[in-house]
Copies of this chain bind each other. A is one copy, B any other.
Amino acid sequence: MKIYAVVMAGGVGSRFWPRSKEKTPKQLLKIFGENTMIQDTVKRLKGIVDDENIYIITNKIQKAGILTQLPYLPIENIIEEPFGRNTAACIGLASVIIQHKDPDAVTLVLPADHIIEGKKEFHDTLLEAAEFADRGRGIITIGIPPTRPETGYGYIQIDEVGVLDHIFKVLTFAEKPNYATAVRFVDAGDFFWNSGMFIWRTDVIIDEINTYMPELYEGLIKIKEAIGTSDFQSVLANVYGKLKKISIDYGIMEKSKKVYLIKGHFSWSDVGSWETVYELSSKDEDGNTKVGNIYTDMVVDSYIYSPDKFTAVIGLDNLIVINEDDALLICKRDKSQDVKKVVDYLKYNKITDHI
């Protein structure tokens, strides 16, 4: 069994404004520690997937940054989508490229911008899922046992009579719930957070695309036939131009009868907002995380990032401060989801300098 990985790195992460921009989206930032999120994501695969089998799927704007940050990956493994067409097309494209190279490939699909702690448990989960997938039994999603009634994640319900110890048949996918529903999900015990990470044999997912998304399949076959020819870029652009924006969850996972879930017994977060960054960061005795030369007086439970400018904060709590060269964000922590509205505002008003 040879394992491949597809790291999806197309998003902008507008809730991470003003640090994330089109050219420097969330996955290309050093949000925790020394490495960028995509560097951590790739590094985390060491020991399971050889570098030559790691593919990054991204867009024109981010490609240069990715090449710089991951110089040890083969340049041809950085796949550039001509347009964003959501995850079904993205995964389909990567799948035909990998299948062209290795018809028996088992592929891990991972977002570039998640935080995972517990590398051994993560590897164990991936390997167990890969072995299951290699036997052609189905497509597997990683479900995280919920530790709180989080309303920011989708949930997956399993049939508790599992096929193997840790691998279960999926009953339903549930969108992000309201709080009461989330509490019910957590109490029920058979609901798991949808991590957006998948494992499958490449031929199996392509078959499922053929069954549930025949238009996409037809396009992917055209693309596959053009691989290695001088027409590849024009065929790719032509096919992509006609595709609908459909997620893999909506297009395949919610319909396929071959969907399984493996429980991920490692610490996981999709790092959805500055609030999550605050929660995951190490804090001083006042509950503050400070990056830069920061003076605080009567300040608690705050995340203050101002690496290039001396900053004084006085008499405030539960604050997010992100001071970038070109823009400043000051936000109450529980309003950190509203940061994306700033990006909407800037786009609407065509103030493109800061996005």
Interface residues of A, Cβ cutoff 8 Å to B: 17-18, 293, 295, 297-298, 306, 309-316, 319, 321, 323, 326-332, 334-335, 338-339, 341-342, 345-346, 351, 353-354
* Cross-chain pairs A/B with CB under 8 angstroms, 23 sampled: A17-B312, A293-B351, A295-B345, A297-B342, A309-B327, A310-B326, A310-B328, A310-B346, A310-B351, A311-B327, A311-B328, A311-B329, A311-B330, A312-B329, A314-B329, A314-B331, A315-B331, A315-B332, A315-B335, A316-B316, A316-B332, A321-B330, A330-B330
**Most B-side CB within 10 Å, residue of A17, A298, A326, A332:** A332
Inter-chain contacts of A319 with B (CB < 8 A): 316, 330
A313 and B331 contact, Cβ closer than 8 Å, known pairs A295-B345, A297-B338: yes
Note all chain B residues with C-beta closer than 8 A to A335.
297-298, 314-315
Q: In the complex, given contacts A298-B332, A309-B326, A310-B351, what are 16 additional A-B residue pairs having Cβ atoms less than 8 angstroms apart?
A: A293-B351, A295-B345, A297-B338, A297-B342, A306-B328, A309-B327, A310-B326, A310-B353, A310-B354, A311-B328, A312-B327, A312-B329, A312-B330, A315-B335, A316-B330, A321-B330
The number of times this chain is found in the oligomer is: 2
Complex Cα gap A113–B249 (Å): 64
Name the B residues within 8 Å of A306 (CB-CB): 328
Interchain CB contact under 8 A, A323 and B328: yes
How close is A352's CB to chain B, nearest CB, in angstroms?
Answer: 11
Most buried by B among A309, A321, A339: A309
Closest to A331 in B: B314
CB distance from A289 to the nearest CB of B (A): 15
A305 to chain B, nearest CB (A): 11
Query: A342: which B residues are within 8 A, CB to CB?
Result: 295, 297, 312, 314
Q: How far is the CA of A334 from the CA of B353 in the complex (A)?
A: 34
Contact indicator B338/A314 (Cβ below 8 Å):
yes
Q: How far is the CB of A19 from chain B (nearest CB, A)?
A: 13
A315–B330 Cα gap in the complex (Å)?
Answer: 9
- A21 to chain B minimum Cβ distance, whole angstroms, is 12
The 7 closest A-B pairs by CB, nearest first: A315-B335, A315-B332, A314-B331, A311-B328, A312-B342, A310-B327, A313-B330
